[in-house]
Amino acid sequence: MTNLAPLTWRDCVLPDWQVSPRVRALITTRDGGVSGGPYGRWHDGGEQPGGMNLGLHTGDDPAHVAENRARVLALAGQADAAWLEQVHGAQIVRADDVIASHAADAGHAPPPPRADASVTDRANAPCVVMVADCLPVLICDAQGRAVGAAHAGWRGLAAGIVEQTAARVAALAGGAADGLCAYLGPAIGPHAFEVGTDVRDAFLDTAPQSEHDAANRAFVAIDAAPGKYLADLYALARLRLLRAGVTRVSGGDTCTATERMRFYSYRRDRVTGRMAAFVWLAD
């Protein structure tokens, strides 16, 4: 493992938001780690060792995942992060509480909390969500008073994870949601995410009248497959952020399913790794 190139900032996606220098963030890709096989990096048309898989539940060697996690924490200059057991819901926890529980149970490896977002107003307490097609949404107070990270697959989006996370960050920052910025990280793109009528209905049936037309436009019918649609997660997330009062939104221009060299994709490969999106406050 030690012969593989270390993780660098060039291996990561860095949000292009204009925020306080206290706000730090990165999103890993499939490069810069030590995993191999289906969890490896993609090079010369095939899987090669050097993958940055951060998911313990994927079937990868746990020692490789541990080394990958150590590498990304070292790059970020952090001792720990608020790892979650994501369940496609709308539960939110405080990242600093999760990290404190790790320290209190040192050596016993406490199970991660079942949640799909974390928030904090404490320095050096990274919020983190893992993805491999679902949408990571990073949210911060532009003045650097609070941050949050949400795991937003379609179920989480429909359940309100994005607007609820925004509200929690705004509350921690002591301000309104219009002072927040959001970054939409790598997710399955609108030309690759095929869904059924149930997914479309989950959004259209609950959309306010003012959002209904925009929500409807986020689903494009597939003529050759009645009852199937191409869904735009990015557009749906922007609608939810706007509902929460967040208007400064960037990102949302990649596709994990089609960009094989750079990203893991569960829909594309089934057996694959997980990337992670981190956001934290510096001292």
Give me the count of residues in the chain: 283
* Domains and their CATH numbers in the chain: 9-189+241-281 (3.60.140.10), 194-231 (no CATH)
Binned average pLDDT, 10 residues per bin, the chain of 283 residues: 84 97 98 98 93 98 98 98 98 97 78 97 98 98 98 98 98 94 98 98 96 98 97 98 97 98 98 98 97
pTM, to two decimals: 0.97
Which residues 6+ apart lie within 8 Å of 118 measured at CB? 82, 84, 92, 93, 94, 95, 98, 127, 128, 129, 148, 149
pLDDT tens figures, 121-170: 999 999 999 999 999 999 999 999 999 999 999 999 999 999 999 999 99
